[in-house]
Structures are given as structure tokens and as C-alpha cells.
């Protein structure tokens, strides 16, 4: 698995709050770089795919930098990936924000708008909310292993992840009268719909566990 390059690369594709994320990751490792260079990404031991904004803009940002094939190939090596917010959504097969847009198809599924709620909760979903396991015991041996059940984390999104395979769901969050997937997983690939870097000390535990996971698997 080890490639001999920079251990962790935060992928810059033009739609992320990169420096706050880099500051958070930098609390746990110095072996970190922000890059849009395909060779740098390809030689990393792990990548983080951040992002804020629309699915279409995210995929266009990857396309103009010729990074779509790079990230899809990286995922096939089973090296660790952490997608955050839009970065997590882009890992799905398709998104339906401003049309039907092809995603990275790393995890089978789609990104759809929140349905209308009977109790009229506001969309976008902004602020603190709880995450809880999809199934008991599923957090063991994952980057969620130090995360408390019903821990509060910070969300900013109007669209939700719907995986084709329910086994890809690690955590759920309740909003309105529904539960949606807030953490997804496939092999060594993780996606958080929320922002762990903006979720205080509890959110930082997830980043810390991801760094430890990279070191174990590097």
C-alpha cells in the first residue's frame, strides 16, 4: 500500500475550506500537503477529499484539474480516503443537484435533495446534530471507534447520501421525520456528511482516528 510520497494529501479542487481542515489535520501529523497535482495525489498514502458547495461544481473542479481518473484509480488501491461534506457526496455514483451529474462512483449510490418534511424543518440543514450507529458494533475497528453515540457534529448541506448497499452506512442522523446517512464506508474509504474539523474536540477525534488508521495501514 505504501507509495513513499507524502503520507496525507488534502485534494484541492477549488471548492473546499482547505486551510481550516489543514489546521485540524495538522494537530495530529506534519506529513501533510494540500495539492491539485495528480502525481502528488497518486503517490500519497492517503487522501482527504474536502468540499463545500454544489455537486456539479465539485465534479467540474475535479474535471478541469484532470483528477477524476486519478482519484478513482487511487480508490481501487484500497488506500485510505476521507471525504468530507461535498467530498463525501462526490464519491457516490450520481448527484442530482442542477441536473443529473456523474460522480466518482467509488461507493454505489446517489446524492438527492432532502425530501419535504411533514414538520417543515428548514433546508439547508445547518448546525449541530447527533450521529448514531446504523448498527450496533459497526463502529468497532473503524475511524468512528472513539466516537460517542449521539455525539453532536456540525452540518451544512441541502442534499443527502443514499447508498445502494445499506452495509456502506456507518452512522445516521435524524432530521425532520427521517434518518439520513451521515457516515459511509467501503473498505478503507470513509465519507462524513458533516464537518469533523468544525465539530470541536469531538469532531477532531474522527480526524485523529483517521490519521492513526493511515499509520496502521501505511
Q: Could you say which of 45, 85, 125, 209 is catalytic?
A: 85
Q: Annotated catalytic, 102?
A: no
Q: Which residue in the list 45, 125, 157, 195 is annotated as catalytic?
A: 195
* Residue/partner pairs of 111-116 with CB below 8 Å, 24 or more apart: 111/55, 111/159, 111/160, 111/161, 111/162, 112/159, 112/160, 112/162, 113/158, 113/159, 113/160, 114/158, 114/159, 114/160, 114/175, 114/176, 114/180, 115/178
Considering the candidates 45, 97, 125, 197, report the single residue annotated as catalytic.
Answer: 197
Residue 157 annotated to the active site: no
**Residue 162 annotated to the active site:** no
User: Could you list the active site residues?
Assistant: 85, 195, 197
Amino acid at each position: 500500500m505504501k507509495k513513499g510520497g507524502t503520507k496525507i494529501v488534502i485534494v484541492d479542487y477549488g471548492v473546499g475550506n482547505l486551510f481550516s481542515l489543514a489546521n485540524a489535520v495538522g494537530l495530529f501529523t506534519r506529513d501533510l500537503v494540500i495539492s491539485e497535482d495528480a502525481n502528488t495525489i497518486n503517490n500519497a498514502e492517503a487522501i482527504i477529499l474536502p468540499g463545500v458547495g454544489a455537486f456539479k461544481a465539485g465534479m467540474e473542479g475535479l474535471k478541469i484539474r484532470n483528477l477524476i481518473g486519478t482519484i478513482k484509480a487511487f480508490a481501487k488501491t484500497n488506500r485510505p480516503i476521507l471525504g468530507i461534506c461535498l467530498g463525501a457526496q462526490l464519491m457516490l455514483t450520481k448527484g442530482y443537484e442542477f441536473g443529473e451529474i456523474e460522480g466518482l462512483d467509488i461507493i454505489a449510490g446517489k446524492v438527492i435533495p432532502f425530501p419535504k418534511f411533514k414538520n417543515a424543518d428548514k433546508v439547508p440543514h445547518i448546525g449541530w446534530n447527533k450521529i448514531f450507529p446504523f448498527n450496533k458494533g459497526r463502529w468497532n475497528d473503524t475511524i468512528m471507534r472513539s466516537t460517542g453515540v449521539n455525539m453532536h457534529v456540525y452540518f451544512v448541506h441541502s442534499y443527502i447520501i443514499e447508498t445502494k448497499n445499506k452495509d456502506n452506512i456507518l452512522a445516521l442522523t435524524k432530521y425532520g421525520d427521517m434518518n439520513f446517512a451521515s457516515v459511509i464506508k467501503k473498505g478503507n474509504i470513509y465519507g462524513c456528511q458533516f464537518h469533523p474539523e468544525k465539530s470541536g474536540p469531538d469532531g477532531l477525534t474522527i480526524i485523529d482516528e483517521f490519521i492513526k488508521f493511515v499509520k496502521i495501514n501505511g
